[in-house]
Structure 1
């Protein structure tokens, strides 16, 4: 398979296909976060928790192929939509954001990419059994408090030193005044989890309403 370059035109095309979930701000921040981990040689595979139809996932695979990285992309989703929200959650409701595994594979086929390993089921069922032994990079897009807390609980212990976790919908209006604040359970889950866990946090910004945070595991 010919190596695909992640050019600016590819980024714009991906953003145009899915502007609500994968705009240019999100894609470029993910691109550089994953590139930094791959180019530093941090060991482990790449995981995305909450992949929907895979229209952001394809960027992660493009980076791996463009960088010649011998790593596997693992995707996790219930494919039954979101679970029931907790008291910390709002905006979305149970069953929203439903997609199918076939949708994911069709997205990858359309871009002529190597298919990922897809793990269907609720995070509390799939993550204990199907996470790779070592994770270099994780993208968490679970939307709700319990989904993000469960994701961190299982991913962080397997994250390699120097590895990166990027969390979507983490809104810190003090550090990123334009950030979208529709899913407050995400930040609460992260803040609760990292209250006693050593990590460096970086709130990412964009020209729009990007709500992203990156958490790095200490290198040594």
Structure 2
């Protein structure tokens, strides 16, 4: 269902909506774990909502007594703060994949009144949300500096045992994110597990 609802937002991609069923499965598992923890759900890097929308349908999110905060520019990756190689990669994604999907995202999440879309550049857009505690966190910004600035602000809000899903952790051409996340985890006395999906899992 989520793939069908997302088609419009992936028209620029030659192969259409990516098949990320196993990555979505990991997010559903981590979010279901979060149902038993204090706090809201948060996703940073939403695009059309292919992952978070799957979570919403899987958990019947509209009946869950938590908010699901969804942060994105909804029009691609900001280029500020990237080195030359990262800027080339982000520019290619903006050119070949991303477009303005704000209206589509609003339609996709309309059936879930507790899904709260926040449009803007992270981490600054976090100021627009009242998030006290976090039970589940997914980060997929394709932008190492923004991911680090975001997790630095959100880490203290995570409930003990909450899972952070790092979407691009072990993919080729995302080495800057891999190194930055490993450094962050080490400073917390933690270790990230690498999944066959390319995702990373970090437990608070």
- TM-score, normalization by structure 1: 0.75
Please show how residues 195-214 of structure 1 align to structure 2 within 5 Å.
195-205=186-196, 210-214=197-201
1:62 and 1:113 in contact (8 A); partners too? no
- Distance, in Å, in 1 between the alignment partners of 2:26 and 2:4 is 16
- TM-score, normalization by structure 2: 0.80
What corresponds to 2:116 in structure 1? 117
What corresponds to 2:161 in structure 1? 162
Please show how residues 8-23 of structure 1 align to structure 2 within 5 Å.
10=1, 21=18, 23=20
What corresponds to 1:57 in structure 2? 52
Where relative contact order (Cα < 8 A, 6+ residues apart) is larger, the structure is 2
What corresponds to 1:31 in structure 2? 28
3-state SS of the aligned residue for 2:123? helix
What corresponds to 1:147 in structure 2? 146
Please show how residues 58-77 of structure 1 align to structure 2 within 5 Å.
58-65=53-60, 68-77=63-72
2:6 and 2:48 in contact (8 A); partners too? no
In structure 2, relative to structure 1, the CA distance for the partners of 1:95 and 1:66 (3 Å cut) is: closer
Q: How many residues align?
A: 192
Q: Which runs of 5+ in 1 are unaligned?
A: 1-9, 172-179
- Distance, in Å, in 1 between the alignment partners of 2:132 and 2:18 is 29
3-state SS of the aligned residue for 2:53? helix
2:38 and 2:134 in contact (8 A); partners too? yes
- Distance, in Å, in 1 between the alignment partners of 2:84 and 2:136 is 29
Q: Which runs of 5+ in 2 are unaligned?
A: 11-15
- Distance, in Å, in 2 between the alignment partners of 1:125 and 1:114 is 24
Please show how residues 81-92 of structure 1 align to structure 2 within 5 Å.
81-84=76-79, 85-86=82-83, 89=86, 91-92=89-90
- Distance, in Å, in 1 between the alignment partners of 2:117 and 2:6 is 23
CA-CA distance at 1:131 after TM superposition: 5.1
CA-CA distance at 1:62 after TM superposition: 2.1
In structure 2, relative to structure 1, the CA distance for the partners of 1:80 and 1:92 (3 Å cut) is: same
CA-CA distance at 1:70 after TM superposition: 0.9
3-state SS of the aligned residue for 2:194? strand
What corresponds to 1:47 in structure 2? 42
- Distance, in Å, in 2 between the alignment partners of 1:125 and 1:106 is 24
CA-CA distance at 1:126 after TM superposition: 1.2
Please show how residues 182-197 of structure 1 align to structure 2 within 5 Å.
182-197=173-188
- Distance, in Å, in 1 between the alignment partners of 2:3 and 2:102 is 25
- Distance, in Å, in 2 between the alignment partners of 1:115 and 1:137 is 15
